Amino acid sequence: MPPAEAVAADIETFLDLDRDKELLRFTTAGSVDDGKSTLIGRLLHDSRGVYEDQLASIRNSPLNRSTGPLDFSLLTDGLKAEREQGITIDVAYRYFATPKRKFIIADTPGHEQYTRNMATGASTADLAIVLVDARLGVLPQSRRHAFIAALLGIPRIVVAVNKMDLVDFRQDVFERIREEFSRHLERLGIPGACFIPLSALEGDNVIAPSARTPWYRGASLLEYLETVPLAPASNGRPARFPVQYVIRPDLNFRGYAGQVVSGSLRPGDPVMVLPSGRTSRVKSIVTWDGELAEAFAPMPATICLEDELDVSRGDMLVRPSHLPHVSRHFEAQVVWMSEQPLKVGRPYLLKHTTQQLSATVTAVRHRVDVNTLSEEPASRLELNEIGCLALETARPIFFDAYKSHRATGCFILIDPIGNSTVAAGMILEPRRAPGADNAAQQALLDLDFQSSRLTPAERFARAGHYPATIWLTARQELAYLLERRLFQRGCQVHVIAEEVESRILPEVSALLGAAGLIAIVSTSRPNSAECERARGLAASGRFFHFDPQLLDASDDKAAVQVCAALEDGGVLPRTRFEVGEGI
């Protein structure tokens, strides 16, 4: 029976099946010639998502670039300018369904200057397909795509090794790429990615397994997309309910409309309202379809509380036993998306959950080279650059680390004058004093500070680092550069140079250490008795004397060496790029 009649014969069954389908959102990233558009066109076409008349208009197009009868990439390259350039330059959304699932594709360009589009597509995706050209192997772009997928916390990655037809479907080519790329993905904290050898142009392993890759026993791309478990939903986590809108049709009803962004809420559950800290219980969960016994993420709901509290947009209902962080200061990884570079100290608007408020970038901790993953010191970020920032908001915000709660860990920055969206941010777990675990940290904060003398532990908690003495000989410029770098990282630091008689340098540096500071001693005299005396006065492991022969001649590079030594010595917490665990 042809499908048409089958459907007509049993439309109710079709509707029942269709109604219960899940939705998988995925993003595709590839370089200009990886054949990404061809792959998407193939998925849409072969899953019959392409309608006949759209096909007809492509057959008539003079720009048909492929050698075959149909150029699938023309199905997806939408805007005129792009068609002329032959490059997809924006995020395009595509839709298709199979009998098992519904899919939304965020098709994003792989061109270097369009990192921001890739980040945009990735922000809502459950899965990323990264394309690799089998002939060219793992290119810097492929690494970059994987990096951005990891940065945006996409839970799953599929590596589509495309154009296998052009390498005669050789297993060794595929295996070599798999080995190399797996190593890179593991570095990014994504173990066990799925690798599929395919030819988008000829259809091998796209919809059905191909006879031309007998050595490959895994699923075809579509089979994988249809069966991969959806990412662990955020509804297993502590409840978070940012209030969007207060519904008050009359004096008898006051409900808080919003979306459960993580966890779940039931009538009777205790809730705390942030920022007021007032507590109440959920009285009822009201919807057009009736009252609910439970609302879980990502359901929209209107919550009524048992007590009359003052709650408005921007407030958040949370479970009192699992509070988010509440602070005006936090660190985040950001993708800079504006032609205008980031300026430290300039006010921006920050939008986080349903709050919008003024925020300032207080420091650029570092910039990440997306090709090598190495961190570089930076004082600003330019378009499409990625870095780690320290931010300060006008009022406290209630947040979680992005890697544990996507919805309460993400934010955007808006230019308050031009109104453009200039950055996407992912909040990092707040830094702790080194060595202090969660409970210890809490215990420190709970101390009644006024009733006892300050302890070194309290100083560590405040400063976020241990005291140390850095002894430099004949490198005064380096001393001041280092002071600036450490200051930008939020350290309390001071250079002791010519102002002190050299015989009392050890005592002065020890005094600064006692106050919790990092002291940088800059002296013109080579190894001296003072140096040894200072080492003796400093706490063990907190004295750093650098052999001038071993420090780089460039102040810039030497500063990085010193910071690394401080990190290795445990004085500073590591600010290495954290893309680990995933969500």
Partner 1 sequence: MTRTLTHLRALEAESIHILREVAAEFARPVMLYSIGKDSSVMVRLAQKAFYPGKIPFPLLHVDTSYKFGEMIEFRDRFTREIGATLIVHQNKQALADGASPFRLGTQNCCALLKTRALLDALAEGGFDAAFGGARREEEKSRAKERIYSFRDALGQWDPKNQRPELWNLFNSRTNKGESIRVFPLSNWTELDVWHYIHLENIPVVPLYFAKLREMVVRGEAVLPVEHGLRLLPGEKTQLVMCRMRSLGCTYCTGAVRSEADTVPKIIAELVSFRRSERENRVIDHDQEGSMELKKREGYF
Q: Are 386 and 452 in contact (CB under 8 A)?
A: no
The answer to whether the beta carbons of residues 578 and 428 sit under 8 Å apart is: yes
Closest to partner 1 by CB, 12 vs 308, is 12
Neighbours of 387 (CB within 10 A): 24
Dihedral, 462, 468, 473, 474 alpha carbons, nearest 10: 0
Q: Between 98 and 182, whose beta carbon lies closer to partner 1? A: 98
- Of the pair 215, 245, the CB lying nearest partner 1 is at 245
Q: Which is nearer to partner 1, 9 or 504 (CB)?
A: 9
Q: What is the 3-state secondary structure (H, E, C) of 463-516?
A: HCCCCEEEEEECCHHHHHHHHHHHHHCCCCEEEECCCCCHHHHHHHHHHHHHCC
SS3 of residue 224 by DSSP: helix
Choice between 25 and 163, CB closer to partner 1: 25
CB of 379 to partner 1, least distance (A): 24
266-267-270-274 Cα dihedral, nearest 10 degrees:
80
Query: Residue 187 CB, nearest distance to partner 1 (Å)?
Result: 25
- To partner 1, the closest distance from the beta carbon of 195 in angstroms equals 26
Minimum CB–partner distance for residue 489 and partner 1 (Å): 27
Of the pair 304, 537, the CB lying nearest partner 1 is at: 304
Residue whose CB is less far from partner 1, 95 or 215: 95
CB nearer to partner 1: pick between 109 and 513: 109
Cβ closest to partner 1, residue 102 vs residue 278: 102
Minimum CB distance to partner 1, residue 95 (Å): 5
The helix, strand and coil proportions of the chain, stated in percent and rounded to the nearest 5, come to 30, 30, 45
- Cβ closest to partner 1, residue 172 vs residue 308: 308
Nearer to partner 1, 78 or 569 (CB): 78
Cis peptide before 275 (omega within 30 of 0): yes
Burial (CB count <10 Å: 0-12, 13-18, 19+), residue 528: middle
Choice between 119 and 433, CB closer to partner 1: 119
Q: Residue 159 CB, nearest distance to partner 1 (Å)?
A: 24
What is the Cα–Cα distance from 497 to 28, expressed in whole angstroms?
55
Q: What angle do CA 332, 147, 35 make, to 5 degrees?
A: 140
The answer to whether the Cα torsion of 33, 35, 38, 40 is positive or negative is negative
Between 247 and 447, CB nearer to partner 1: 247
Beta bridge partners of 92: 107
Backbone torsions φ then ψ of 25, nearest 5 degrees: -105, 125
Cα 442–425–93 angle (5° rounding)? 135
Q: How far is the CB of 391 from partner 1 (least distance, A)?
A: 15
Strand partners, 272: 279, 318
Residue type, 155: P
Structure-derived torsion over alpha carbons of residues 393, 396, 398, 400, reported in degrees to the nearest 10: 50
Question: At closest approach, how far in Å is the CB of 504 from partner 1?
Answer: 55
Q: How far is the CB of 253 from partner 1 (least distance, A)?
A: 6
Residue 189 C-beta: closest distance to partner 1, Å: 20
Closest distance of CB 356 from partner 1, Å: 8
- Residue 168 phi, psi dihedral angles, 5° rounding: 55, 30
Separation CA 397–CA 400 (nearest Å): 10
- Nearest distance from C-beta of residue 239 to partner 1, angstroms: 14
Contact present, 512 and 542 (Cβ < 8 Å): no
CB 381 within 8 A of CB 367: yes
| CB contact at 8 A, 44 and 77 | no
CB of 225 to partner 1, least distance (A): 14
| Amino acid identity for residue 47 in this structure | S
